[in-house]
């Protein structure tokens, strides 16, 4: 990043500088946990819905940051410099807008509902030899991501490619002011995020605002509504429109598209000349994206005919970074998105959030950089060294030559195969491993060695969606309301550690587990936030205390036993406990006639401290039972008042679960307990459902396809007989994997290539069969058991149960894989 000094920055963002103005800055931080190398860094204290960066100034300072952009400067920092502004996020954007104006080279602004990142990355794959490109890292395309992306522009660059993404009306104008594109590229306009817009036209109008000042616009002329709106637009009607499509009016006219098993040949007509190119993809989206890229080359006055080979070698973009359990109690972070310094930085940050003492890095040659090798690997080493890896493995002939720059125990190999020849499983031990490399090195061979279980049947957990769902719930809460997240039953079946770690990293206040062993497991994996055990068994009190887990205390008997245990273990400080009130669930809890004795025990008791008082609703998800909720909450109010007044304490008061947060947010008290909602499910509250994203997807692959004739039968008991020529796909999952047998005999369905296939015959222990007669598919194709289609809600309906049961039933032998975008 280009350097600024604090005087300049204060002037640009119209802030008040307190401190020295000649300090140089060239690194931006906004999350104090991400600070590894503070040199020339500045910390922006953003004030979000729940989190306030001002609470982390001390942490940032301790990590070496001396420059801050804040709303109000604290007075107790020695030797630190502050710029005070009204709104630090705005200030960052103002800085980006100013920075953008320093450059006159072409800037491509890409927007659309799908394909932004792929088109951006493909343009980079096509053009990196020809230009010094600056582009958005990963999918940084929000109000904030776009600003950070733009601030990376440097003098040496000569082409910018940036994404702009919107989710709400009226966001695009600001993105336009930040990115200031000179060439506009519009990818597919779909239904994504439609929920926040009136209709598709409104989306188009909003997206087109990115192009208010472009000289040229690239788009698909086949979208008639879009084309019409562009022709009627004051500015866009006048500029150079470069389009593709089947009509004669398109700049690039599609002549023919021919796909075989692996490639697609695309013939186009442009300026009366025919041109044919091939891409190594056969899906419709890739074909369209390649046409967008080709059309964009025309907008840059580049002779696309010279790029045949580059098109032929386009690589798929792995959008997601995977976090997986690895052998010997290790964690594997697999990030093969692409190999450039920016995405390496993101991978390093994710690794750094894994609470493992030992950290290792596997890094390959970095392709697609037009720095000299010396410069490139010096910068790589400068980025990597502050993380103090215990071990680094370098793979590739180039990077190996720069082994001496890396300050760790370093081994180097010319190829992945050479590394695997000497690789020994027993040398991996309780560590976090980042695999970061470019495609040609086939690091998946290493990840296959490191993963614990096979990959065919997987429960995928999208941690990004988890956080987005939490933020949807947070938007219903007051900024001061605390958040407890329920991770009992292995986080509703999704696997406890990764989910808990993500929650911890996102600043939730408490975790809730069912039994002490679940809490113990989290503590052993490095989770440090307060954990409440909802159902502490008497035999587990010792574990509970040893691992600083906080018990739910629901009766006088339990209270006395727990105090006795504290005495036995000679715990001298007041131990936090949580009192559960019975108000109408009739499960666990103190009744009103317990209160006198409860108060007597707790009065002047120095062994326990009542940290919270709570209750649980029986009918929060049933609108017709609102009266009962009110009855419960009123009874709870009284109980809380009685106890807190008698003891003269004000513990945290909480009652609401996920549906409660939606329906009774006026009774959120001091804290809420979020469970099923964060996994993306809201059953009785349709209007919430559309804001939530499915966190969990259960997928497998087709093992075999067989064709059977009329009269032939399928599976045990011959419960399915073919009535016509039928194509049957066998899947490698069965009731031992958590697929209930009652989904068989035509009741349930699975998703294959966008269609639903009916489960035929009896579901076996480890296998099941589905009817794919009318579904184009082949052996090895992916199958969705539940996820986006069918959804958990569909399976819930077929089984006549609740989503909680569907989620928690997936067997432990199905591997959990975590994704972050």
Q: Which of residues 405-444 bind ligand PLP (CB under 6 A)?
A: none
DSSP string spanning 23-64? -EE-EEES-GGG-S--TTEEEE--B-SS-BGGGGHHHHHHTT
DSSP string spanning 463-493? HHHHHHHHHHHHTTS-TT-EEEEE-HHHHHT
For residue 42, what are the CA distances in angstroms to 25, 64, 608, 675?
6, 10, 43, 37
Q: Establish if 474 lies at the interface with ligand PLP (CB under 6 A).
A: no
- For 275, the 3-state DSSP assignment is strand
Instruction: Give the nearer residue to ligand PLP in terms of CB position, either 134 or 486.
Output: 486
Q: Which two tokens stand for residue 760?
A: 């035929």
- For 333, the 3-state DSSP assignment is strand
Q: Establish if 152 lies at the interface with ligand PLP (CB under 6 A).
A: no
The answer to whether residues 578 and 552 touch, using CB atoms and an 8 Å cutoff, is: yes
In the bound complex, what is the minimum distance in angstroms from residue 608's beta carbon to ligand PLP? 20
The answer to whether residues 6 and 17 touch, using CB atoms and an 8 Å cutoff, is: yes
Instruction: Give the nearer residue to ligand PLP in terms of CB position, either 221 or 484.
Output: 484
In the bound complex, what is the minimum distance in angstroms from residue 522's beta carbon to ligand PLP? 16
Q: Which of residues 227-266 bind ligand PLP (CB under 6 A)?
A: none
For 161, which DSSP code? E
Q: Establish if 673 lies at the interface with ligand PLP (CB under 6 A).
A: yes
Binding mask 503-542 for ligand PLP (x = CB under 6 A): -------------------------------x--------
Residue 319's contacts (CB-CB under 8 Å, 6 or more residues apart) are 117, 138, 139, 337, 821
Instruction: Give the nearer residue to ligand PLP in terms of CB position, either 366 or 806.
Output: 806
CA dist., res. 114 & res. 802, Å (int): 33
For 681-730, the three-class secondary structure string (H helix, E strand, C coil) is CCCCCHHHHCCCCCCEEEEEECCEEEEECCCCEECHHHCEECCCCEEEEE
Instruction: Give the nearer residue to ligand PLP in terms of CB position, either 115 or 677.
Output: 677
Q: Which two tokens stand for residue 91?
A: 């200030």
For 321, which DSSP code? E
Q: In the set 494, 658, 682, 796, which binds ligand PLP (CB under 6 A)?
A: 658
Instruction: Give the nearer residue to ligand PLP in terms of CB position, either 493 or 677.
Output: 677
Instruction: Give the nearer residue to ligand PLP in terms of CB position, either 488 or 815.
Output: 488
In the bound complex, what is the minimum distance in angstroms from residue 512's beta carbon to ligand PLP? 6
In the bound complex, what is the minimum distance in angstroms from residue 503's beta carbon to ligand PLP? 14
Question: Which residue number is nearest to ligand PLP in terms of Cβ?
Answer: 675
Note if 690 is an active site residue.
no
For 590, which DSSP code? B
Q: Which two tokens stand for residue 118?
A: 């792929």
For 114, which DSSP code? B
Q: In the set 416, 657, 682, 726, which binds ligand PLP (CB under 6 A)?
A: 657
Instruction: Give the nearer residue to ligand PLP in terms of CB position, either 38 or 675.
Output: 675
Instruction: Give the nearer residue to ligand PLP in terms of CB position, either 116 or 488.
Output: 488
In the bound complex, what is the minimum distance in angstroms from residue 671's beta carbon to ligand PLP? 11
In the bound complex, what is the minimum distance in angstroms from residue 489's beta carbon to ligand PLP? 9
Instruction: Give the nearer residue to ligand PLP in terms of CB position, either 367 or 678.
Output: 678
The reply, when asked if residue 673 is annotated as ligand binding, is no
Count residues contacting ligand PLP (CB under 6 A)?
Answer: 11
Q: Which stretch binds ligand PLP (CB under 6 A): 223-231, 307-315, 348-356, 673-681?
A: 673-681
The answer to whether residues 290 and 304 touch, using CB atoms and an 8 Å cutoff, is: no
- For 399, the 3-state DSSP assignment is helix
In the bound complex, what is the minimum distance in angstroms from residue 668's beta carbon to ligand PLP? 13
Q: Which two tokens stand for residue 639?
A: 């109980």
**Host H or E run for residue 558:** helix 556-568
Q: Which stretch binds ligand PLP (CB under 6 A): 560-568, 636-644, 674-682, 710-718?
A: 674-682
Q: Establish if 633 lies at the interface with ligand PLP (CB under 6 A).
A: no
Q: Establish if 676 lies at the interface with ligand PLP (CB under 6 A).
A: yes
Q: Which stretch binds ligand PLP (CB under 6 A): 181-189, 213-221, 593-601, 670-678?
A: 670-678
Catalytic residue among 225, 478, 569, 716: 716
The reply, when asked if residue 100 is annotated as ligand binding, is no
The runs of H, that is alpha helices, within 430-462 are 444-450
CA dist., res. 486 & res. 532, Å (int): 9
In the bound complex, what is the minimum distance in angstroms from residue 794's beta carbon to ligand PLP? 19
Q: How far apart are the first and last CA of the chain?
A: 23
Q: Which of residues 585-624 bind ligand PLP (CB under 6 A)?
A: 616
The runs of H, that is alpha helices, within 128-179 are 143-150, 172-179
Instruction: Give the nearer residue to ligand PLP in terms of CB position, either 239 or 585.
Output: 585
- For 818, the 3-state DSSP assignment is strand
**Host H or E run for residue 394:** strand 391-395
DSSP string spanning 730-799? EES--GGGT--GGGTTTT-EEEETTEEEEEES---SS-EEEE-TTS---TT-EEEEESSSS-HHHHHHHH
Q: Which stretch binds ligand PLP (CB under 6 A): 226-234, 297-305, 388-396, 671-679?
A: 671-679
Q: Residue 469's Cα: distance from chain center in Å?
A: 10
Residue written as token pair 């980006």: 96
In the bound complex, what is the minimum distance in angstroms from residue 479's beta carbon to ligand PLP? 21
Q: Which stretch binds ligand PLP (CB under 6 A): 207-215, 276-284, 667-675, 701-709?
A: 667-675
Residue 689's contacts (CB-CB under 8 Å, 6 or more residues apart) are 681, 682
For residue 370, what are the CA distances in angstroms to 26, 367, 406?
21, 9, 21
Q: Which stretch binds ligand PLP (CB under 6 A): 71-79, 502-510, 554-562, 668-676?
A: 668-676
Q: Which two tokens stand for residue 331?
A: 């964690």
In the bound complex, what is the minimum distance in angstroms from residue 534's beta carbon to ligand PLP? 5
Q: Which stretch binds ligand PLP (CB under 6 A): 24-32, 67-75, 189-197, 669-677?
A: 669-677
Q: In the set 184, 675, 694, 790, which binds ligand PLP (CB under 6 A)?
A: 675
For residue 670, what are the CA distances in angstroms to 370, 471, 472, 479?
54, 17, 18, 10
Instruction: Give the nearer residue to ligand PLP in terms of CB position, either 331 or 470.
Output: 470
In the bound complex, what is the minimum distance in angstroms from residue 483's beta carbon to ligand PLP? 12
Strands of 16-18's sheet in order across = 16-18, 81-84, 67-70, 41-44, 27-29
In the bound complex, what is the minimum distance in angstroms from residue 685's beta carbon to ligand PLP? 11
Instruction: Give the nearer residue to ligand PLP in terms of CB position, either 463 or 655.
Output: 655
Q: Establish if 486 lies at the interface with ligand PLP (CB under 6 A).
A: yes
For 657, which DSSP code? -
Note if 820 is an active site residue.
no
Handedness of CA 176, 177, 179, 183 (dihedral sign): positive
Catalytic residue among 482, 488, 749, 815: 488
Burial of 574: CB neighbours in 10 Å, binned 0-12, 13-18, 19+: middle
Q: In the set 38, 551, 677, 761, which binds ligand PLP (CB under 6 A)?
A: 677
Give the residues lining the site for ligand PLP (CB under 6 A): 486, 488, 534, 616, 657-658, 673-677
**Mind telling me the catalytic residues?**
488, 716
Report the binding-site residues for substrate: 587, 765
Report the binding-site residues: 587, 765
């Amino acid at each position: 990043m280009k350097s600024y000094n604090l005087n300049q920055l204060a002037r640009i963002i119209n802030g008040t500088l307190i401190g020295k103005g000649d300090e140089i800055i060239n690194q931006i931080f906004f999350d104090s946990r991400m600070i590894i190398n503070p040199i020339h860094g500045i910390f922006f204290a953003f004030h979000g819905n729940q989190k306030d960066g001002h609470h982390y100034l001390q942490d940032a300072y301790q990590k070496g940051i001396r420059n801050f952009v804040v709303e109000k400067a604290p007075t107790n920092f020695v030797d630190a410099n502050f710029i005070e502004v009204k709104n630090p996020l705005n200030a960052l954007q103002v800085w980006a807008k100013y920075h953008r104006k320093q450059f006159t080279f072409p800037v491509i602004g890409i927007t659309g509902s799908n394909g932004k990142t792929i088109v951006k990355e493909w343009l980079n794959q096509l053009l990196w030899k020809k230009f010094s490109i600056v582009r958005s890292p990963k999918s940084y395309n929000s109000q904030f991501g776009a600003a950070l992306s733009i601030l990376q522009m440097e003098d040496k660059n000569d082409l910018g490619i940036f994404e702009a993404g919107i989710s709400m009306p009226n966001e695009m104008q600001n993105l336009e002011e930040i990115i200031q594109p000179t060439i506009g590229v519009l990818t597919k306009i779909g239904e994504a995020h439609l929920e926040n817009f009136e209709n598709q036209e409104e989306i188009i109008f909003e997206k087109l605002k990115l192009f208010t000042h472009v000289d040229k616009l690239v788009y698909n002329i086949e979208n008639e509504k879009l084309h019409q709106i562009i022709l009627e637009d004051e500015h866009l009607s006048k500029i150079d429109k470069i389009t593709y499509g089947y009509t004669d009016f398109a700049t690039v006219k599609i002549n023919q598209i021919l796909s075989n098993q692996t490639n697609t040949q695309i013939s186009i007509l442009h300026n009366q000349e025919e041109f044919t190119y091939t891409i190594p993809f056969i899906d419709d989206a890739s074909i369209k994206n390649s046409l967008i890229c080709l059309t964009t080359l025309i907008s840059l006055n580049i002779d696309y005919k010279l790029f045949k080979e580059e098109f032929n070698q386009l690589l798929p973009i792995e959008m997601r970074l995977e976090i997986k359990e690895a052998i010997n109690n290790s964690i594997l972070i697999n990030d093969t998105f692409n190999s450039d310094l920016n995405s390496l930085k993101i991978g390093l940050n994710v690794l750094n959030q894994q609470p493992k003492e030992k950290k290792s890095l596997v890094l390959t040659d970095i392709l697609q950089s037009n720095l000299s090798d010396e410069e490139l690997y010096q910068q790589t080493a400068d980025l990597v060294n502050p993380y103090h890896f215990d071990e680094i493995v370098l793979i590739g002939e180039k990077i190996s030559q720069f082994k001496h720059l890396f300050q760790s125990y370093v081994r180097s190999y010319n190829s992945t195969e050479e590394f695997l020849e000497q690789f020994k499983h027993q040398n991996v031990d309780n560590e976090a491993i980042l695999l970061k490399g470019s495609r040609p090195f086939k690091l998946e061979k290493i990840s296959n060695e490191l993963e614990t279980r096979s990959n065919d049947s997987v429960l995928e957990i999208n941690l990004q969606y988890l956080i987005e769902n939490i933020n949807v719930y947070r938007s219903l809460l007051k900024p001061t309301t605390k958040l407890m997240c329920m991770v009992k039953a292995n986080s509703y079946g999704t696997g406890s550690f990764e989910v808990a770690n993500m929650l911890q990293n996102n600043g939730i206040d408490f975790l809730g587990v069912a039994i002490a062993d679940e809490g113990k497991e989290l503590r052993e994996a490095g989770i440090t936030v307060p954990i409440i055990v909802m159902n502490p068994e008497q035999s587990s009190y010792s574990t509970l205390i040893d691992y600083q887990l906080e018990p739910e205390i629901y009766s006088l008997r339990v209270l006395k036993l727990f105090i006795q245990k504290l005495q036995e273990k000679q715990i001298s400080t007041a131990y936090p406990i949580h009192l559960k009130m019975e108000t109408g669930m009739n499960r666990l809890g103190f009744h009103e006639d317990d209160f006198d004795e409860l108060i007597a025990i707790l009065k002047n008791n120095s062994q326990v401290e009542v940290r919270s008082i709570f209750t649980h609703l029986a009918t929060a998800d049933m609108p017709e039972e609102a009266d009962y909720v009110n009855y419960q909450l009123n009874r709870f109010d009284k109980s809380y008042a009685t106890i807190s007044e008698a003891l003269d304490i004000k513990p945290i008061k909480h009652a609401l679960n996920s549906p409660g947060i939606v329906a009774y947010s006026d009774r959120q008290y001091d804290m809420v307990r979020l469970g099923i909602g964060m996994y993306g499910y809201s059953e009785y509250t349709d209007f919430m459902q559309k804001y939530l994203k499915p966190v969990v997807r259960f997928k497998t692959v087709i093992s075999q396809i067989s064709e059977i004739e009329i009269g032939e039968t399928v599976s045990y008991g011959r419960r399915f007989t073919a009535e016509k020529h039928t194509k049957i796909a066998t899947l490698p999952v069965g009731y031992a994997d958590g697929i209930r047998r009652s989904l068989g005999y035509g009741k349930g369905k699975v998703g294959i290539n966008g269609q639903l296939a009916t489960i035929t015959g009896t579901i076996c222990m480890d296998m099941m069969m589905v009817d794919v007669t009318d579904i184009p598919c082949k052996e090895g194709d992916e199958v969705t058991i539940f996820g986006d289609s069918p959804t958990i809600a569909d399976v819930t309906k077929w089984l006549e149960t609740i989503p909680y049961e569907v989620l928690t039933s997936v067997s432990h032998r199905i591997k959990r894989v975590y994704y972050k975008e």
